[in-house]
Amino acid sequence: MISRRWAAGLSGSILLIAACNSDVPVSAVTDVPFSGLHVVVTRIATHPFLARFNLKLTVSTVDNCSATSELFPDTGGVSRRNLYVGGSGRLYVVGQYDVRRFDRQKCLVELIEFRSLESNMIFVGSFDVDGAGQWTFFPASARPERAFEKL
C-alpha cells in the first residue's frame, strides 16, 4: 500500500514539475538583413504555472552600439513582438500594448506611441512561441505578419 502511494506521489510530482515554467531566460535572436543590426528578445517566466513573462529587448550594431529596453510584460499570452524596419532605417518592435523604436544615430531604444509609427514599414518577422511552446524568431519568409487585435 505504501509503494502505491509513493508511486502516485512520484508521478504527480513529475507532472507538476513538467507543467512548471522555468525562470531561466530564453532568448530569440535575429540579424536584420542589410542593416547590420542584431536583435535579441529575452523572455523570463515570472510565475511557475501561469503564462507570465518579462521581456527584454537588446539591439546591437556592427559599430559597437548596444541598447537595451524592458518591454511591456506578458501577463497572459501577449509575448509576440513584430519586428519592422522603417524607411528612415529605424527599427521598430511592436507588441500588443507597446512600441519600441531603435535609433542607430542615438544608439537608443525608446518607447513611442502607436501613432508615431512610420507608414510603409517593412515587416522583418516575429518573436513568438512555436507549436511546441518554445520562444523563437520567425522570419517573414517563414510566417506572414500577424496583426494585433484592437482593444
Are 133 and 116 a contacting pair, CB within 8 Å? Answer: no
**Cell 525608446 identifies what position?**
110
Instruction: Look at residue 3 and tell me whether its pLDDT is greater than 60.
Output: no
Domain ranges, ordered by start, for the chain: 22-139
Lowest mean pLDDT across 9-18, 26-35, 103-112, 120-129: 9-18
Listed in sequence order, the residues at least 6 apart from 101 whose beta carbon sits closer than 8 Å to its beta carbon are 90, 91, 92, 93, 109, 110, 112, 116
Report which of 73, 74, 87, 94 is spatially closest to residue 146, judged by C-alpha positions: 94
Sign of CA dihedral 60, 101, 25, 143: negative
Q: What is the pLDDT of residues 74-133, one digit of tens each?
A: 988 889 999 999 988 899 999 999 999 999 999 999 999 999 898 889 999 999 999 999
Q: What is the DSSP letter of 105?
A: T
Confidence band of 4 (pLDDT split at 50, 70, 90): low
Q: Give the model's pLDDT for residue 17.
A: 39
pLDDT at 125: 97
Mean pLDDT, rounded, for 47-55 = 86
